[in-house]
Structure 1
Amino acid sequence: MLDRSLLTRLGRPFGFQADELRWIRSSQNHVYECGSPDDPAVLRVSSGRSRTLAEVEAELDWIENLARQDVPVCRARLSSEGQRCHVVSIDGKDYLVVCFDRAPGRAVEIADLTPEFHARLGEVTARLHAAVFDDRTAAADSTSARAPWHASRLLNGDIERYTAASVGGFRAAARSLVARLAPQVEHRLGLLHADISFSNVFVDDGRLTLFDFDNCEHGPIEQDFATILYDSIYCRLLNRVPADELAARIGERWDAFLAGYRGVRPHVEIDADLLRQFLILREAIIYTHYCRTVDLAAVRESFREGMDEMRRNVEAGATPVLDVTA
């Protein structure tokens, strides 16, 4: 959480005082709920993670473009000065502040995660992809300010900074995988959310709304699919179903997702080998995220063992999500 005196200055461009900002979470950004029950909003504060004003403006341009195409997303609001993003400099540090509409409804719960619900996520994902890949003229030129997938800080600075030097094999395997993938997908790139999961979706009477586009970047559709398959299917089932049922349950939810997706984009071609490789890359990203955010000395031994297995998977070029077809 940010200091109260900071919050007063950061919320001011959008008309909010510190006591009107209710902390939600702090990870890559500091996120606060604000506004009234009739007009809820979310204030996002970015600092210290190498995000530039041009990149944020490109993100907001894309969100606005998607909203105009009826993709369910959360628009950015204008400040009292007519700006979507304010750079607030305090004690030599820049904070990038954006206020978004709050997604209608509530967070996704375990009880929601039926095959039908995964089909709805497939539909929303397909609508987002269609807005980019099926109409190349629709995207604003400014979105070129977003990096290509292989230039992401998650795959470069974070791996070098947050993983231990003793796991040099992991670092080398991740770099090698990126180097192999880059030429394979060079002509398949479009702007992606790059972090679609049930953590970044709200549900309102069965309707889903996407938010948190902070990691959006240019990549192939298999990258988004790998994120969804890993984060919203595999990880949601792991340790919740018997091991001998895991593959079948993953397949059931993945098939439902694809059915929803192909209801919107029936002729899309998904490269199964690219999907497999991006699944390995997703595991590398999540492993690095844990290295950055988790105090490994304070977690259970079983968690550390799970992380060791993730590292070994990446080093071996293996994926825990087996027998999934595209």
Structure 2
Amino acid sequence: MSKVVKSAAPLWGFDPARVSLVAARENSVWRAEGEGGSYALRLHRPGYRTDAELLSELQWMEMLAKGGLTVPRPIPSLAGRLVEQIGDTSVDVLGWMPGRMLGEKGGMPGITDRPGLMRQLGALLARLHDLSDAWTPPPGFSRPKWDRAGLLGKTPLWGPFWENPDLTSRQRDTVLAAQAKALAALAALEGGLDYGLIHADAITENIMVDGDRLVLIDFDDGGWGFRDFELATVLMRQLDRPDYPALRTALIDGYAARRRVDARVLDLMLLLRALTYLGWIIPRLSEPGGAERSARAVATALPLAQAYVRGHDG
């Protein structure tokens, strides 16, 4: 067991002997058994988020939970703090969420009505956005910005995607051309786009199914962004599915309780979402499966970039 876990568990009154590792992804998540049930003890990777960003994430989740959304609720330590520091590692605890993960890599095993699930997810995201817009964040609130600079600027949130070493010279030229055209298009559109707090990572791995309920977890990348980008994040991993048109229509229908979605803007956001993964994988290329993930990112982004450049020539 990690020394950090041994030091952190007692801060919430947990016996380290009753804490076990359940996920080692971007952050490591441990399941702690304590009074009242199970809890998720999260160890955040050093340097990824500031103290203000971590606290803001938890404050946002607390508001959403109080608003009736089924999301993890932050648990204060015995000292009353939402975040504790062990060396250079920030630690927090969330209530354990029931159910099972929807699936991996866009899969939805066991789901017979896939469009129905997408419709339900669209409504859930609309509710998240409504609650967020009605909320006044506390002083010092800080989360990343999935805005024009964060997606397409010189220093994007997930890294310079055009520098992915698996891009050929010609492919890199296509990506750079798509970036330039998308920058111009987004600059022209941006004033009329719905912008606010978004989850930004509502992929199947971050959705739990609990009976007839959907549960959103992992708000680590949540921040300020375009609401169409939220929907594009859901849809990107469904692009190669035979029922993609039905899934896209269902997600939009579910979200339409909030507002109408412009298909052209959604197509632009699909391109932007795909480009982010070209950058995200660069520092992870040496990790197990890194080469395969990079190849998949290229295979997803290139057709979208090529189509976008062709559609905006002239």
Look up the match of 1:234. Answer: 239
User: What displacement does 1:204 show?
Assistant: 1.3
RMSD: 3.2
State the AA in 1 paired with 2:132.
V
Look up the match of 1:221. Answer: 227
State the AA in 2 paired with 1:310.
T
Look up the match of 1:259. Answer: 253
Identify the match of residue 194 of structure 1 among 187, 200, 208: 200
- Would you say the 8 A contact 1:7–1:17 is kept in 2? no
Look up the match of 2:74. Answer: 76
- Would you say the 8 A contact 1:281–1:314 is kept in 2? no
- Would you say the 8 A contact 2:199–2:222 is kept in 1? yes
Distance 1:27 1:198 in 2: 15
Identify the match of residue 265 of structure 2 among 268, 274, 290: 274
Look up the match of 2:279. Answer: 288
Distance 1:201 1:222 in 2: 18
Distance 1:309 1:129 in 2: 31
CA displacement, residues 100-148 of structure 1 (integer Å, 9 cap, x when unaligned): 0111222225122622222221221111112134x3xx23234741122
Distance 1:162 1:26 in 2: 27
Distance 1:204 1:257 in 2: 19
Distance 1:309 1:107, change over 3 A: closer
- Would you say the 8 A contact 2:122–2:255 is kept in 1? yes
Distance 1:176 1:124 in 2: 33
Give the TM-score taking structure 1 as reference length: 0.77
- Off by >6 Å, runs of 4+ in structure 1: 296-301
Identify the match of residue 54 of structure 1 among 46, 52, 55: 52
Contiguous gaps of at least 5 residues in structure 1: 238-245, 320-326
State the AA in 1 paired with 2:221.
N
User: What displacement does 1:161 show?
Assistant: 10
User: What displacement does 1:199 show?
Assistant: 1.1
Distance 2:281 2:144 in 1: 23
Identify the match of residue 108 of structure 1 among 102, 116, 123: 102
More moved, 218-227 vs 20-29: 20-29
CA displacement, residues 153-186 of structure 1 (integer Å, 9 cap, x when unaligned): 9934633697339665477357536633256325
- Would you say the 8 A contact 2:146–2:225 is kept in 1? yes
SS in 2 for 1:72: coil
Distance 1:44 1:174 in 2: 38
Distance 2:177 2:85 in 1: 38
Give the TM-score taking structure 2 as reference length: 0.80
User: What displacement does 1:38 show?
Assistant: 5.9
Distance 2:67 2:102 in 1: 24
Residue-pair matches, total: 294
Look up the match of 1:20. Answer: 18
Aligned-pair identity (%): 23
- Find out whether 1:98 has 2:97 as its counterpart: no
- Find out whether 1:33 has 2:31 as its counterpart: yes
SS in 1 for 2:224: strand
